[in-house]
Structure 1
Amino acid sequence: MGALNPLVALGVVLALVSGTFVALQPPTNALMGRAVNSPVNAAFVSFAVGTVALLTLALALGVRPSLPAVRALPVYAWFGGLYGAFFVFAGVFAAPRLGMALYIALLIAGQLGMSLLLDHVGALGLDRQPISVTRVLGVVVILGGVLLIRR
C-alpha cells in the first residue's frame, strides 16, 4: 500500500474536523438564538463572525478573488451563501426541539440523498457517479438509523 497523498490526507482531516463543527454549530448558535431572541438574529451573528474570520484569513494569506472569474460564474454559484444561511437558521430552530442526535441523523440523511442525486447527474462540476443499489441501500440504512434514534 502506497503513501497517502498529503492533499488527500489534509482533506480527510479537514472533513473530520468539519464534521465535528457540524455537530457543534447548532447548539452553539441555539445559545446565541436564546440570547438574541431569534433564530434569524443568531444566524446573522454567526455569519458576521464567520465573515470577519474569513476576511482576517484572506488578508493574512494575501488572497483575493478574481473579479472577472467571479463575474463569469453562473447565477446558481451564488446560492452557496443562501444554503449556508438556511443551514444555520434551521439548526438554531430545529436542534433544540429535536435533540442533536436526531437533528444530525436527519441532516446526514438529507446530505446523502442530495449527494446521490448530484453524483448521479454530475451536477455542479462533479464527476458523474451513477446511483447504484448499494449506494441507495446505504442511504436507507441511515434513514433506518434516524427512525431508531427517534424511538
Structure 2
Amino acid sequence: MQTLSPAFFIPILVVFVAGVGFAIQAPLNAALGKGIGGGVAAATISFGVGFAALLVLTFVLGEGRALTRAMSVSPMYWAGGLLGTVVVWSMLWSVPTIGILTAFAALLLGQLSAALVLDAIGAFAAPVHAITPTRVLALLMVAGGLILSRF
C-alpha cells in the first residue's frame, strides 16, 4: 500500500482540478456544436484551441526541440491523438442526450476498466500493479455509480 504523504496528494489535487475542467469542457463543446450546427466542427475548433495552447506551452517549457524528434518514435504512440478525438466526440455527442454526470460516469468506467488491465500487464513500460479484489471492488463501485447516475 502506498503511503499517504503530502507528496501523494499533490498530483491527486492537480488531476482533480483537471477533472473539473474536463467536466466543464464537455458541455462547452456540446454548446459550441449546437451553436455552429456541427459536432465534429466543434471538436475541430476545440482541438485547434488546445493545439495552440499546447504549442505555446511546449516552447514556454523549453521543449520545442523535442518536436523535431517526433518522427523517431513508433507511429503507434501517435494514436493518443486519435483516442483523444474519440473521447471528445463521444462526449460531445452523448452529453445532450444522457447528461454530463452519466456521460462522465460511463467515460470513467471505461477508463478505469482499461486502466485495471493496462496496470496488470505493465502496458507501455508503466509499472505493474496487480489486479486485486480491492481494485475490482473500486471498479464495481464506479459501475454502481453509473447506474445510480440515471436516478
Q: TM (normalized to structure 2)?
A: 0.88
Matches within 5 A, 1:2-151: 4-5=6-7, 10-66=10-66, 69-151=69-151
d(CA) in 1 for partners of 2:116, 2:69: 29
Supply the distance in 1 between the matched residues of 2:13 and 2:143 (Cα, whole angstroms): 26
Could you tell me which runs of 5 or more consecutive residues in structure 2 were left unpaired when the two chains were aligned. none
Using the TM superposition, give the Cα deviation of residue 13 of structure 1 relative to its aligned residue in structure 2, in angstroms: 3.0
What TM-score comes out, normalization by structure 1 length?
0.88
The CA distance in 2 between the partners of 1:116 and 1:60, in whole Å, is 35
Q: 1:138 to 1:69 in 2, by over 3 A?
A: same
**Equivalent residue pairs, number:** 149
1:65 and 1:39, CA in 2 relative to 1: closer, same or farther beyond 3 A? Answer: farther
Cα distance, 1:3 vs structure 2: 6.2
Task: Determine the C-alpha separation between the residues in 2 that align with 1:144 and 1:4.
Answer: 30
Q: What amino acid sits opposite 1:58 in the alignment?
A: T
Q: Secondary structure at the match of 1:66?
A: helix
Give structure 1 regions of 4+ aligned residues with deviation exceeding 3 angstroms.
1-5
Aligned CA-pair RMSD: 2.0
Q: Structure 1 regions of 5+ residues with no counterpart?
A: none
SS in 1 for 2:149: helix
